[in-house]
Amino acid sequence: MGGRGAQTDSPSGEKKRNGGRLDEALCAYSGARIAELTGLHAKHVINEQGIDGINIEESKNGMSRKVPLHPHLIEQGFLEFVREHGPGPLFFSLSLSRLGILRAPQTRSEKLAEWVRKLGVDDKDVSPNHGWRHRFRTEALQINMRDRFIDYIQGHAPRTEGEKYGHIPLDVTAPWIQMLPRYDVTGVSLRINREVSTVLLQQAVAKELFLKETA
């Protein structure tokens, strides 16, 4: 996602604006529900086997999952944002919330939707946040990502008893996430840059075969 032009803002205002931009980018590149992302704390940003990701502990299906970070999200400064933010929730302030920790992420997601509307996304048929979940699945199918991986990454209910057990490792899903397109957002205009790497595709298939052999 690209910038929206130069703006003059206070440090706190700039931090909130960057948080909103990065939260939207997380929606786009993870396919997660907005309330799952607004509830993230710094401790949920992880690195396993050299791969950066997020650990979503609170999910609608009651199961936690680990999702790799898209390279474009890292390039936009998400990891720096986390480091500078320090411990605690990334996208809301407990000290300023009068609703408590259980309600705060949902309140933040509603505020984020209002912020997106103010940017000019005012089509009532387009959900400001949930639309990214639909876009994620569409783009995932474009690169032939397996349904099992899509469902796991997006936090859908497991289809079989066996799928309820364990995590799919970051190194298995990372090549698929890396093959997803980059989004360049300027104002309300969206440009999608699709460029699938043959090397990444080979890595993704190899990891999938290994997962099947060790299952």
- What's residue 125's pLDDT? 59
Q: Which residue has the higher pLDDT, 118 or 21?
A: 21
What's the burial of 109, exposed, middle or buried (CB within 10 Å: 0-12/13-18/19+)?
Answer: buried
pLDDT tens per residue across span 34-50:
888 888 999 999 999 99
| Beta-strand pair 51-56/45-48 | antiparallel
Asked if residues 13 and 61 have their Cβ atoms less than 8 Å apart, the reply is: no
Asked if 34 and 112 touch (Cβ cutoff 8 Å), the reply is: yes
Closest C-alpha among 23, 64, 56, 54 to residue 164 = 64
More confident residue, 91 or 155: 155
The DSSP code for 105 is H
Position 141 confidence tier, pLDDT thresholds 50, 70, 90: very high
The three-point CA angle 210-213-215 to 5° equals 105
Q: Which two tokens stand for residue 187?
A: 């104002």
- pTM score above 0.75: no
Return the CATH number of 11-214, one of 1.20.120, 1.10.443, 2.60.40, 1.10.1610. Answer: 1.10.443
- 102 three-class SS: coil
Asked if 36 and 47 touch (Cβ cutoff 8 Å), the reply is no
Q: What's the sign of the alpha-carbon dihedral 94, 95, 97, 100?
A: positive
**Do 104 and 97 meet the contact criterion of CB atoms below 8 Å apart?**
yes
Q: What is the mean pLDDT of residues 163-173?
A: 85
The reported pLDDT for the residue numbered 101 is 47
CA distances from 51 to 71, 173, 178, 191, 211 (A): 10, 10, 11, 27, 17
Residue 56 tokens read as 């979503």
Q: CA 168, 108, 67 angle in degrees (round to 5)?
A: 10
Calculate Rg over the CA atoms of the chain: 17
